[in-house]
């Protein structure tokens, strides 16, 4: 089945929904019938107006004609906003599509029950909440792709098909493919006891890329562009402590040890706890933020008091600040602040073993990649061309 990926984008300063798919005259004709659809010659995709009912209208448009992946479309909740800077609401949430009968791109009730059994198994195994969300989301995408087949009818050929017809044509990453394989493989081993042959779950070859980092001046520009106190403190903690996205969002109020200027990271990647030093300046910023916002459970809360701030929201905060700062580097994401923290520590002379502990890396090989991007070790190398 043909695949269309819908994503929220900003086009000419206006929020739109992009529709990405391989060239297909039938799909193009279909998209043209959508009110307000436009073609971007610069970005090479079709885009449509972004509204609260866009996902539902797109689902009806492509029903039976193409597999629509709209999992990346998020909807801003109406109501109170604490964002003076953006004037927009603080939390973003998924708007699921109702599932009725078993049609292409839909999941049957029996398969949904098995997905719920899978979720409960993951919860009983104390998997991190982020892993549970990722695995169940990936599994749903897989079952929508193979639909109208049911989960019990899937064969090893379907694992090859989703790579050849969905992941590769849409330029999805190594990590995406690996997560998809992990989620589906574990589901079939737990729920159906390996209905699919284990050999079907072949892993992609890992691509070793150097992390993209920002200079200290660029980090300062990003933080200075944030006028909303909550947003500024969030991103400052990500950079100032080298935190992962989930780690900063999982912080509870007692996790900041003011007596020792430490942040307690609990049950992070690999189920490991660690302590990370935090500067006194940043502690004062956090205390001022708490005084003004008065969170009740999490350090950074969403629309409802006591609710966890969403990952989509903090990514949007970073992207907005990054664009305002006028930085023009490729592929910099929120995680780039963590990469920058590690690189700047290494450049200032911090031992690699300490950086490994601060980042929570299990293997020193993971941390050693930062030795390849430090400017002190690269910029001092003299080219033999200079001796000609």
- Both tokens of residue 151? 């989960």
DSSP E strands, the chain: 3-11, 14-20, 38-40, 45-49, 67-72, 75-76, 92-93, 256-257, 262-265, 274-277
Residue 202 shares a structural domain with residue 233? no
- Render pLDDT for 21-44 as a digit per residue (tens, 0 to 9): 888 888 998 999 988 898 887 678
Number of domains in the chain: 3
Task: Considering the candidates 70, 186, 338, 344, report the single residue annotated as catalytic.
Answer: 338
In a domain, 116, yes or no: yes
| 386 in any annotated domain | no
- pLDDT at residue number 209: 62
Residue 169: per-residue pLDDT:
78
Catalytic residue among 230, 244, 308, 344: 244
CA distances from 236 to 256, 286, 350 (A): 14, 10, 20
Domain that holds residue 326: 216-379
Domain end call among 49, 68, 97: 97
Q: Which residue has the higher pLDDT, 104 or 63?
A: 63
Ramachandran class of 381: left when φ > 0, alpha when ψ lies in -120 to 50, beta otherwise: beta
The two structure tokens encoding residue 245: 């996205």
Q: What is the pLDDT of residues 222-243, one digit of tens each?
A: 999 999 999 999 999 999 999 9
Final residue in a domain of this structure, among 156, 184, 207:
207
pLDDT at position 364 is: 65
Look up 47 and say whether it is catalytic.
no
Q: Does residue 109 lie in a domain region?
A: yes
Residues 120 and 265 in one domain: no
Q: For residue 371, what pLDDT band results from cuts at 50, 70 and 90?
A: low
**Catalytic annotation present for 335:** yes
Q: Do residue 93 and residue 103 come from a single domain?
A: no
353 and 228 co-located in one domain? yes
Res. 197: pLDDT tops 60: no
Length of the chain: 388
Do 228 and 109 share a structural domain?
no
Same domain, 199 and 279: no
Q: Which of 149, 269, 274, 324 is catalytic?
A: 269
Closest CA to 56 of 12, 16, 6, 108: 6
Residue 47 domain flag = yes
CATH for 270? 1.10.443.10
Closest CA to 218 of 337, 319, 339: 337
Are residue 24 and residue 150 in the same domain, yes or no? no
Q: How far apart are CA 164 and CA 217, in angstroms?
A: 42
- The SS3 call for residue 205 is coil
- Mark whether 152 and 165 lie in a shared domain: yes
CA distance 279 to 229: 17
Does residue 330 form part of some domain? yes
Residue 242 DSSP one-character state: T
65: domain CATH number? 3.30.780
H/E run at residue 180 = helix 174-190
Which CATH number covers residue 202?
1.10.150
pLDDT band at 121 (very low <50, low <70, confident <90, very high): very high
Q: Is residue 384 part of a domain?
A: no
Question: In this structure, are 230 and 334 located in the same domain?
Answer: yes
Give phi and psi for 192, each to the nearest 5: -110, 5
Of 207, 238, 257, the position where a domain reaches its end is 207
Angle, in degrees to the nearest 10, between helices 229-241 and 335-347: 50
Task: In whole angstroms, give the CA distance from residue 99 to residue 112.
Answer: 10
Question: Is 7 a known active-site residue?
Answer: no
pLDDT band for 54, please (50, 70, 90 cuts).
Answer: confident
In this prediction, residue 292 has a pLDDT band, given cuts at 50, 70 and 90, of very high
Looking at the domain assignment, is residue 261 inside a domain? yes
Q: Are residues 49 and 114 in the same domain?
A: no
Whether 244 is a known active-site residue: answer yes
What gap in Å lies between CA 239 and CA 60, rounded to an integer?
A: 42
Residue 203 annotated in active site = no
pLDDT of amino acid 201: 56
Supply the pLDDT for residue 228.
93
Q: Please tell me whether residues 113 and 32 are part of one structural domain.
A: no
Residue 179 lies in a domain: yes
Look up 11 and say whether it is catalytic: no
Q: Are residues 192 and 277 in the same domain?
A: no
Share in percent of the chain as helix, strand, coil (round to 5): 45, 10, 40
Average pLDDT over residues 46-71: 81
Selecting among 119, 161, 264, 335, the annotated active-site residue is: 335
């Amino acid at each position: 089945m043909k695949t269309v990926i819908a994503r929220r984008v900003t086009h000419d300063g206006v929020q739109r929904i992009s529709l990405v798919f391989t060239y297909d005259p039938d799909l193009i004709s279909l998209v043209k019938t959508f009110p307000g659809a436009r073609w971007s010659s610069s970005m090479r995709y079709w885009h449509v107006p972004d509204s609260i009912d866009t996902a539902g209208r797109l689902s009806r448009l492509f029903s039976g004609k193409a597999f629509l992946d709209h999992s990346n479309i998020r909807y801003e909740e109406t109501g109170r906003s604490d964002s003076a800077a953006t004037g927009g609401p603080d939390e973003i949430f998924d708007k699921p599509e109702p599932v009725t009968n078993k049609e292409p791109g839909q999941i049957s009730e029996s398969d949904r029950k098995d997905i719920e059994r899978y979720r409960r198994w993951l919860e009983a195994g104390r998997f991190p909440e982020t892993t549970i969300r990722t695995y169940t989301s990936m599994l749903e995408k897989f079952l929508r792709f193979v639909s109208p087949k049911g989960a019990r009818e899937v064969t090893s050929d379907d694992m090859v098909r989703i790579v050849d017809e969905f992941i590769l044509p849409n330029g999805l990453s190594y990590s995406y493919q690996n997560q998809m394989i992990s989620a589906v493989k574990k589901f079939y081993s737990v729920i159906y006891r390996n209905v699919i042959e284990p050999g079907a779950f072949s892993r992609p070859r890992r691509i070793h890329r150097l992390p993209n980092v920002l200079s200290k001046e660029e980090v300062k520009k990003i933080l200075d562009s944030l006028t909303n106190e909550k947003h500024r403190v969030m991103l400052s903690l990500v950079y100032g402590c080298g935190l992962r996205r989930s780690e900063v969002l999982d912080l509870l109020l007692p996790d900041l040890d003011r007596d020792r200027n430490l942040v307690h990271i609990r049950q992070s990647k690999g189920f490991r706890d660690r302590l990370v030093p935090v500067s006194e300046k940043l502690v004062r910023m956090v205390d001022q933020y708490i005084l003004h916002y008065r969170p009740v459970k999490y350090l950074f809360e969403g629309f409802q008091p006591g609710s966890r701030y969403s990952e989509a929201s903090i990514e949007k905060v970073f992207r907005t600040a990054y664009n305002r700062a006028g930085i023009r580097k490729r592929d910099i994401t929120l995680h780039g602040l963590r990469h920058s923290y590690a690189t700047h520590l290494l450049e200032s002379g911090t031992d690699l073993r300490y950086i490994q502990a601060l980042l929570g890396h299990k293997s020193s090989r993971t941390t050693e990649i930062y030795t390849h991007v430090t400017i002190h070790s690269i910029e001092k190398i003299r080219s033999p061309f200079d001796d000609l």
